[in-house]
Structure 1
């Protein structure tokens, strides 16, 4: 282990041991059911971290943008799903990617499908995006006529290869407890299976089902009749997932180490160099309904003490963060100390910070790296 005394400004620390344990646990779950694991790389955004997956036999991945697909294609990934509705303004980049890798796209409208067929010269896989209740993107699950028209068109084309139905139960992230998550997941799956049955009854080719979210990945042992699973946040977890009961504090693999720049004992607070440009403005409600942007834990030479919460990140502006300490904790901290904050939402924190440093002091780059 390297000493962490080199930290002078906000630094994203990664405990690789914790992250790899989180990864191995989910791989074993999915192997038992022979489900294809297509992890979402938007959480870590790192070619080096991607190698952890490849070393474990994973060769199909999910990303959230054309730019991210290009980045991972350059790192040798050959089977990539862009799990974001096709942006037809990027058709040239999509066409170029389709010539280099096995590319799969998300489509939810006939207009988009027609544009792809007209513009592409190489075959791409197509997943039809279904809204199973999250209310963000996709064709509403019970709009069967619209789904049928789109599927029939895709099947009539030269360059669009229908793969199946895809959904993301984003509403599991707002669920109140394990039972509600289970209910949301299996209601979504039942809706997808009903569409699949409807399409297959019309003698359309075999329809696959692709789903995936971290709450379901964390609590379910049986994922039902699905073909592939696409979670991302499970690798690092965060305070949002902890508060929802999806992980323990010791399962959170990231913290942002920040310098203390002032102490205000009269209000039991400290100001840190670490704000919205480092954490984002995603927050979480603590048990007493207090809004927090992260949980504060002490830093150690070999990481941080996840079992000793000393306060929370009360507010963030651009570079400033305000820490509210719990009772009898503030006297243990001084100006110039480094303090660790477990982030409310790891995906956005990684994107904001752009580079990791592991506990051996090694920099791990991402697609947005500073260097």
Structure 2
């Protein structure tokens, strides 16, 4: 891209799609999955397709406010606001004290290795490990039972932190809503062979009692034996949207309504009324976001501060006019009291 240009269509239909493809694959890697690396030939094929298209583009600006767009980018897309490892984010985790973890195969406790219960002990140095003698792949699973039926929308898995034997690289996730009597599949895929957290998101399932992680492929130090292992495992639940608080907006509107239009210039009042009408509209909007509410408050407060008082019509007098009027009422006797006599030859 040494000859980067900003011709019509380049940003929208050429650069942006390429970035989206590249970022999508890197995001998979951050989530512990295998990401694709496109070859030069594959990139060229995509680019050549654009070259041969005959898309029509507007010749006039779309009218978007660059200042507002810039503020939006800084607020929502600054790099320091992006978590370094999304899969390690525990903000949506369901409490482990609601979980019981069992497995289809587990080695008897030996040092830091053994039962599946190690996967919810909060200690990354203890692990679940299938039997060291190896087992059928159908036995390589862990089951998380929830003491209370819950809504679940994802699973996080942390492989063992020392060694690689048993790290799950291919998975199937199933859920049960009848305490493990029956299961149905909600996700399948692959993970990178690394010790980083892996995360899987799926459509939220309600009234879940059990979630089962099956290892369809895993790392083995033996060509004839199947193993599976893991340090920690978690389930995630959807986060409820915070309730929108409109109390401050109501107060600001009430204060503004107490103002009298006659006290201000028509121009400043017109702008103030526009902000007031918008604030009332947001107040009545059932699905207004907190951002809309906050913006309405700011706009109305700024419009209020910008109000200009109407000038009162008064008959003004010059200092000379006032002095003349005062002088006409002064007597000679008054002058003798305040002015020294003038002595002349």
TM-score, reference length from structure 2: 0.20
TM-score (norm 1): 0.19
| Larger Cα-atom Rg | 2
